[in-house]
Structure 1
Amino acid sequence: MSAPNPLSATPAPPQRPAMPDNTTAIADFNSLPDNRPPFRDAPSVIIGHLSLPDHKQPEPDWVVFLAHYMRTHRETGNGYQSVADLQYLFLLISRVLLPNAIVENRQLLLEVFTVYPGLQGYNRLRYDAFDNSPRGKDDVDSIHVVVAPSGGDHRNLPFDYPVQEKVQQPLALDKRFHIPPRSIFASTTTPNGTDFVAWLIDSPLPLVNGAELGQMAHQKSQLDIYMTLPEVELRALNLLQLVRRTTRLLQMWFWLTGNNVRLQQHKSNQWTTFGEEM
């Protein structure tokens, strides 16, 4: 009896790349010190929003939040470290928080389409429908960025402004820092966004009553571009480009986590109210 030909075997379905949960990822990300190398500095107000987004309140003005990174670093006194910290924030969102929100979105949508397999048409709560949202229709390069002055009234800034002896100087928005790639975590490597998007594309469609759920097929969107942006390209962006793209990424993440909240509400109604999203 001849041995089975390994080349003729059905390939195993792709496995979702390993991804830390948000709580673990944020705790690890935020565990690096801000007063000694590697000088990780993330404002607590941003960490708070990423940990517990409040969709009962209006979306934050992310550019104002990111003003923290548009000045010389409060410990090192240079702009290099401030820009590096903003790059780390971009990677945390694009490689972990946004993918985890997508996984949750797909799990909830699978429940919807398992109950209503014949439900077809545009669904505004899908993770890949961002391009059709109001934010998604805006050009990222139209995002207005202003560096807050280093003096004057800072009471409206959503973070603690440094004391006078550590005044941070504003950075030029056209400044580029070619910062070497480095893991965003203290204990593990940064997840690979390209592998995650490949899993979204290549995963077989789930079956309901023997039929594929075509509604679960991945559609390309701006989210793919942000999750797969090579780290070397990210780290070569000038400050203006980086702030705009991090702002857009935060908008994507906030939009998607809000969609997941709405999906959970429809789930609590046994999906009977989901039709209003079509």
Structure 2
Amino acid sequence: MDGWTNGWMDGRTDGWMDGWMDGWTDGSMDGWTSRCIDRQTDGNVFGPAGKATRAGLCWLQQSREPRCAVVLLRTVSYEECCGGSGVERAWSNSSVSLGTVSLLSLLGMVACRPCKETCEGVSCGPAKVCKMKGGRPQCVCSPDCPEETRGRAVCGTDGRSYGDKCALLLARCQGQPDLDVMYQGECQKSCSTVVCPGSSSCVTDQTGSAYCVTCTRDPCPSPPATESPVCGNDNVTYASVCHLRRATCFQGHSIGVRHYGPCTGESGGPSRSSPRPAFPRSDWTAALRSAADKEHPGEAP
């Protein structure tokens, strides 16, 4: 460890590290930048109109501190790195080796210049706005919540209840882009009070949880000769698993498979003690729920 430390510290005196440390310790980004420019003369790149500009590193800035650890691009100009409208990038005026960058990143010693220092010109995307926090611009979730929806619980397509539509939109902004309102009110354990929007219908899964889905009215294809009929837990024989799934959707509750092959009646038939679902809850409910979002419901299973 001592040898590694001494070797690294000796390397610090090669000129570049002296300049970097001098600029870093004076607390001025401008001082650090000017020293790097003075000591490095072979790192130019050519920007707009062929004008030579300083080459550097483009970083992903993940904290509020003017320190960076994740390199996005190497040997790029400030204009190339910061030409967009986001707030997540930063730039440093150096073209050092990747090994040196990795070492400095590990030590948390890389000073970087945020591409955006105010909210001017910042575009945050849907449901987000730029706000100054800790002296830096940051994109924060700020969904558009109609006043009439506040305080009215909704059930999301993830099967979870939200205090109101605003809370659901906030969750969508924070990492669930496919989340949407399934129906009004808290998520229910039966379809008795659920009002599904549009042409969707209410279906309960094996646990009794209610979901709004769009049932396809397209007929099931003729089962191949090698496929056996199935006996549902309702003691009805279905020509195929597809037919059982379709019946599940239109009846509004999970049927499940009692056994493969035709039903033989209540007496002398297979045991009811271990019914086997045609497919796991996580599979079939997801398939049914997603049908409501498809432009062509006939494509749903």
Q: Does TM-score exceed 0.5, indicating one fold?
A: no
Shorter-chain TM range is: under 0.3
TM-score normalised by the chain length of structure 1: 0.18
Q: Please state which structure has a larger fraction of its residues in strand.
A: 2
* Rg larger for: 2
TM-score by length of 2: 0.17
